[in-house]
Amino acid sequence: MINKLKSKDLLGTKDLSPEEILLILDTAESMKEISSRDIKKVPALRGKTIINLFYESSTRTRTSFEIAGKRLSADVVNISVSTSSVVKGETLKDTAKNLEAMNPDAVVIRHSSSGAPDFISKLLRCSVINAGDGAHEHPTQALLDLFTIREKKKEFKGLKVSIIGDIAHSRVARSNIYAMNKMGMNVTVSGPSTLIPVDIEKMGVKVFTDVKKAIEGADVIMMLRIQLERQEKGLFPSIREYSRLFGLNAEKLKNAKEDVIIMHPGPINRGVEISADVADGKYSLILDQVTNGVAVRMAVLHLLTGGV
């Protein structure tokens, strides 16, 4: 059994081996207990500095990384780009080099451009963790999704997962597809054909344009946020139509398996891709995902910056 990750960085699930994924999930399982204590803190990363560098808005992920770092006793610094030198025109490269000059142990970056984390990881000696880059990857989200699935289903092999929604713009979908394939799950994607990339089958997934077929027999249904900010481009006729055809509601769920679990990376558009009663219903694990996110990020931070 391996005891550390190969790379100094976590840029995507594409580069992780199945053993590395299991190491992160197993470590996260141990970390989860810490968040249930009265004193939710261990000294493992005392004296380590973690910088959250977020070029895109975020509630869950940024807070989750911050709490994860703090529960391990690291010092966490948040840089909100709107109040930083970026608005004065500083380039990503210069920002990264200047942060490095202050000797952090990890930089957690979210950026609207795919490849930004990869770019700075080559400039910096410290660990770089991708917290979402463009439509590329969001590895910690996929890892927390896997963690949540394993908690309920115990095993990955042979599970049928349906990812439904805007696949084309979704870094969550990409990271999940890579990771789920590695762990032996069967992934199906579904959504309006304008939001399904051509050649997606090459990633090893099946495509259903009929969402009912995607729901039937699925062990896991993962709904994606419909990105309303992209609606102007006319990728689908109307939100109402989208909701009617692809939104998950109690009616469509009648075709699902008895023990199906429903996930969503958040933030949810209630009544659009998921109806309120389903989001809050008994199959929904949306808030478990958030809880598990802290444990998974603690595991990643510890594996990358702990010890040495």
Partner 1 sequence: MNTRVMNADEINRAITRIAHEVLEKNRGAHDIIIVGIRTRGVFIADRLAVKIKEIEGEAIPVGIIDITLYRDDIKASPSKHIVKKTEIPFSISDKKVILVDDVLYTGRSIRAAIDGLIDFGRPANIQLAVLIDRGHRELPIRADFVGKNIPTSHDESIKVMLKEEDGVDRVIVEKGDDK
Interface residues toward partner 1, by CB under 8 A: 1, 3-4, 23, 26-27, 29-31, 33-34, 37-39, 41-44, 72, 299, 302, 306-308
Identity of the residue, 158 or 307, whose beta carbon is nearer to partner 1 in the bound complex: 307
Beta carbon of residue 281, minimum distance to partner 1 (angstroms, whole number): 29
158: left (phi over 0), alpha (psi -120 to 50) or beta: left
Q: How far is CA 79 from CA 53, 84, 85, 230, in A?
A: 5, 7, 10, 26
Identity of the residue, 281 or 307, whose beta carbon is nearer to partner 1 in the bound complex: 307
Nearest-angstrom CA–CA distance, 273 and 186? 22
Beta carbon of residue 308, minimum distance to partner 1 (angstroms, whole number): 6
- 24-37 residues labelled b (16+ CB within 10 A) or e (exposed): bbebbbebbebbee
259 three-class SS: coil
Identity of the residue, 29 or 75, whose beta carbon is nearer to partner 1 in the bound complex: 29
Identity of the residue, 22 or 81, whose beta carbon is nearer to partner 1 in the bound complex: 22
218 three-class SS: coil
Beta carbon of residue 210, minimum distance to partner 1 (angstroms, whole number): 43
Beta carbon of residue 44, minimum distance to partner 1 (angstroms, whole number): 4
Identity of the residue, 30 or 194, whose beta carbon is nearer to partner 1 in the bound complex: 30
Burial of 296 (0-12, 13-18, 19+ CB in 10 A): buried
Nearest-angstrom CA–CA distance, 126 and 137? 20
Identity of the residue, 71 or 252, whose beta carbon is nearer to partner 1 in the bound complex: 71
Strand order in the sheet with 106-111: 75-80, 49-54, 106-111, 127-133
Which residue stretches of the chain are H helix? Answer: 18-32, 60-71, 92-100, 116-123, 139-153, 171-182, 211-215, 239-246, 250-253, 276-279, 286-305
Identity of the residue, 22 or 77, whose beta carbon is nearer to partner 1 in the bound complex: 22
Beta carbon of residue 4, minimum distance to partner 1 (angstroms, whole number): 7
Burial of 197 (0-12, 13-18, 19+ CB in 10 A): middle
Beta carbon of residue 33, minimum distance to partner 1 (angstroms, whole number): 6
Beta carbon of residue 305, minimum distance to partner 1 (angstroms, whole number): 12
Identity of the residue, 264 or 302, whose beta carbon is nearer to partner 1 in the bound complex: 302
Q: Tokens 């952090």: give the residue.
A: 104
Beta carbon of residue 47, minimum distance to partner 1 (angstroms, whole number): 12
